Structure 1
Amino acid sequence: MSRKTIVFTGGGSAGHVTPNIAIMNELDPNEWDIKYIGSKKGIEKELVTNLKIPYYGISSGKLRRYIDKENIVDMFRVLKGCIGARAILKKLKPNLVFSKGGFVSVPVIIAASTLKIPIFIHESDMTPGLANKISQRFATKIFTSFEEAKRYFPSNRTTVIGSPIRKELLNGSATKGLHFLQFNHFKPILTIMGGSLGAKKINETVRESLNSLTKTYQIVHICGKDNLDPNFENQIGYKQFEYIHDELPDVLAATNVVITRGGSNAIFEFLALKIPMLIIPLTKNQSRGDQILNAHAFVEKGYGFMLEEEELTSDSVLTELERVQNSREEFIASMEGTNQGDALKILVKEISSVK
């Protein structure tokens, strides 16, 4: 029996790629030939090529909600991306295109629709990003992480499933994590993850607060590309990394509390791992406000606390972390009632049903 072909797309940040990776890892290689279309220089290229999956780069422009002269240039980039994606798809003849959003996905979705290729999209946030707002009209099926997101899409094509979690994240070893970090069992481990692109204000505040933080915690600081600070290379009880790949499941297994942005994929992963969170979402000046909505939803459900970046100081981060630690047992109890394994199973089943 010949294998079916699936093309994944999505990029711009790791949040648009890691759910795709979770799905790709679960598909039977005897049944599926997996390809990826992304931007020529985005983070998705590095993450996907590391998995030895064939990668096709296309031109892509940024999608903006405001007037900017760059919009004209980017319209041509998107058009060029559509032409490039269509040529790739005609050659690959996939049975399905699966999109996780991000501006690079739009040319791929439009090209797939002109070729009558079935399209699945997944929206992680409580409100859809501009890419998925455009893509939804072409989608065969739409999946969302949040119940609240369903109202933005056609109800007859939309299913709420949660977020697909990478299975390897759920199988980490705390002992291996401690060994990798060269940390001990005596102090709790605080992990800071500002997203794949880093988080300048969080990075700066954490480093300003290190003398106080290391009295209570051993600290893992995943600070993003080019954000390592040589001044803290030998700080006791503090380890900084641009990004952690293979060892991340073990590091998270050893983690007691996390500081995170409000990106949906990240917070759903911490929910699945039952790690209490201090969520510091991107501000409305930096984003469309989706992370703030995600954070509020998780606070209301009892999974952590939120600290707005405008309120972020050395004092406030220490105060809020203490609150998280004091509420730790309640947060874990709230998290116990959720089942985060279903989204991945549902998506794999839906994909497998495609002829």
Structure 2
Amino acid sequence: MEKKQIVLTGGGTAGHVMVNLAIIPILQREGWTIDYIGSKNGIERELIEPIKGVTYHSISTGKLRRYFSVENFKDPFKVLKGIGQTMRVLSKTKPQVIFSKGGFVSVPVLIGARLKRIPAVIHESDLTPGLANKIAVPFAKKVLATFPETLEHLPKEKTSWIGAVIRPELFAGNRKRGLRFAGLTESKPVIMVMGGSAGAQRINEAVRHQLDELTKTHQIIHICGKGNLDPTIHKFGYQQFEYVNEELPDLLAATDLVISRAGANAIFEFLALKKPMLLIPLSRQASRGDQILNAEVFEKQGYAHVLFEEDLTEERFLEKITGLIIAENQIKSAMMAYQRQDATERVIEEINRLAK
């Protein structure tokens, strides 16, 4: 190849961007010119656009709503518009390959890639594929899965299990730097609370209602989501952030236990860093149930305790945290036995193979 040109896509949530963030520095070192196709106002734009050397293109995209809305009737036309915009980007950039992390912004990109006869590879993080990837899979040459169980739900002839892609910078965190950034001390262990990039209102409320109990034994780093800060809380040993990016490795290094949703990318990162977890997956009323499956697998393997959102009361929440604290060493032992594959290298191999 005279010029190595690639288009990345994926968005809607931070989870649909993190793998792209992990591979971008590697692609740049290998001499790839990188364009990124995302939505106009999605979190992917906020995370990707500032990266030097990556050109961001926004397109029109639909959205899956699990409730009746007039917008559902407009979405097919938004996707058609997005396909046209994608094809114009592809005609201009002339990539040899497309890499997709999923989310509904990826659907018009994968369809446009097929129409332009550009090979595409999809990465599926969750145990079962989401609707966007289900739609996009027929337009892709290769699908890479994080869970081995995912192979049962995808075409065997084009799907491979590679394991989790973990951002290498997460391993470079510094505990003292993290404690200093959060305004915490070495006096007590730290619990990190994460509800995903958009936050989780019920988890936020449960944590804040139990702050007096939690801070008796632990300090709290609370990543509560955009617009979810509570400026009325001023408590020693409790620090809240809307969202963190560059400081996350240091905050994770300072963390002993995690309370989190059960998005696949996040929980595999916690596993790689050996952080025992209490997982509170999105309910089936608010999702397709993928986080519930992810959480159940991690609990079965001894990496996490699980509290279903339907059972989330203040008393049950505190009981589960107490159980996690008691089982911390047992969970860490199970995590130490986990053999992590270098999935990042496999992704890069597939990209290079398809580009040829």
TM-score normalised according to structure 2 size: 0.96
Deviations 1:250-287 (A, max 9, x none): 11011000000010011011001010000000000100
Residue equivalent to 1:199: 200
Mapped to 1, the partners of 2:14 and 2:347 lie a distance apart of 19
Equivalent residue for 1:37? 37
Cα 1:113/1:66, change in 2 over 3 Å: farther
| 1:302 lines up with 2:302 in the alignment | yes
Structure 1: state its 5+ residue gaps: none
**Per-residue deviation, 1:150:** 0.8
Secondary structure in 2 matching 1:231 = coil
Residue 134 of structure 1: aligned partner? 135
CA contact (8 A) 2:83 2:111 kept: yes
SS of the residue corresponding to residue 271 of structure 2 reads helix
Mapped to 2, the partners of 1:246 and 1:69 lie a distance apart of 39
Q: CA RMSD in A?
A: 1.3
Q: 1:3 Cα shift?
A: 3.1
- Secondary structure at the counterpart of residue 27 of structure 1: helix
Give the AA of the match of 2:340: Q
Contact preservation (8 Å) 2:176, 2:254: yes
1:46-195 equivalences under 5 Å are 46-52=46-52, 53-64=54-65, 68-195=69-196
Amino acid of the residue matched to residue 25 of structure 2? N
Contact 1:208 1:314 in 2 (8 A): yes
Give the letter for the 1:327 counterpart. Answer: A
C-alpha distance after superposition, 1:301-342 (max 9, x if no partner): 000100011211222221111111111111111111223351
**Residue number in structure 1 paired with 2:6:** 6
Cα distance in structure 2, aligned partners of 1:30 and 1:17: 20
Q: 1:277 — aligned with what?
A: 277
Q: Which amino acid aligns with 1:81?
A: G
| CA positional deviation for 1:97 | 0.5
Q: Cα distance, 1:152 vs. partner?
A: 1.2
Q: What CA distance in whole angstroms lies between the structure 1 residues aligned with 2:181 and 2:318?
A: 26
Q: How far apart in 2 are the matches of 1:24 and 1:45?
A: 15
In 2: Cα distance, 1:190 partner to 1:313 partner:
19
Q: Residue 23 of structure 1 corresponds to which residue in structure 2?
A: 23
**Distance in structure 2 (CA, Å) of the matches to 1:184 and 1:63:** 43
Aligned partners of 1:165 and 1:341 also within 8 Å: no
8 Å Cα contact 1:192-1:260 kept in structure 2:
yes
Distance 2:263 2:246 in 1: 21
Question: Residue in 1 aligned with 2:325?
Answer: 325
Provide the rounded CA distance (Å) in 2 between the counterparts of 1:286 and 1:257.
26
Question: Does the 8 A contact of 1:225 with 1:242 survive in 2?
Answer: yes
| CA displacement, residues 135-167 of structure 1 (integer Å, 9 cap, x when unaligned) | 111111100111111111111111111121110
CA distance in 2, matches of 1:210, 1:283: 24
SS of corresponding position for 1:82: helix
Unmatched segments (≥5 aa) in structure 2: none
Greater displacement, 12-21 / 312-321: 312-321
User: Quick check: 1:165–1:340 contact (8 Å CA) kept in 2?
Assistant: no
Question: Following TM superposition, by how much is the alpha carbon of 1:14 offset from its aligned partner in structure 2, in angstroms?
Answer: 0.2
Return the letter of the residue paired with 1:92.
T
Confirm or deny: 8 A CA contact 1:256 1:275 kept in the other structure.
yes
Q: TM-score, normalised by structure 1?
A: 0.97
Query: Which amino acid counterpart does residue 166 of structure 1 have in structure 2?
Result: R
Return the alpha-carbon distance in structure 1 between the equivalents of residues 252 and 350 of structure 2: 30
2-structure distance, mates of 1:30, 1:282: 38
- The alpha carbon displacement at 1:300 in A equals 0.3
Query: Shift of the alpha carbon at 1:68?
Result: 4.6
Which residue identity lines up with residue 286 of structure 1 in the other structure?
A: A
- Equivalent residues of 2:191, 2:220 under 8 A apart: yes
Q: How far off its partner does 1:120 sit? A: 0.2
Count of residues in Structure 1 that have an aligned counterpart in Structure 2: 354
Answer whether contact 2:162 2:341 (CA < 8 A) is retained: no
Is the contact made by 2:296 and 2:306 (CA closer than 8 Å) also made in structure 1? yes
Give 1:70 shift.
2.3
Match for 1:114: what amino acid?
L
Using the TM superposition, give the Cα deviation of residue 67 of structure 1 relative to its aligned residue in structure 2, in angstroms.
6.0
Report sequence identity in percent: 51
Cα separation, 2, equivalents of 1:195 and 1:66: 22
1:29 offset after TM fit, Å?
3.6
Task: Check whether the contact 2:183–2:239 (CA below 8 A) recurs between aligned residues.
Answer: no
Letter in 2 for 1:301: Q
Aligned equivalents of 1:257, 1:278: Cα separation in 2: 8
Partner of 2:88, secondary structure, is: helix
TM-superposed CA distance for 1:71, in Å, is 2.0
Conserved in 2, the CA contact under 8 Å of 1:178 and 1:254?
yes
* Deviation, structure 1 residue 207: 0.7
Secondary structure at the aligned position of 1:71 is classed as: helix
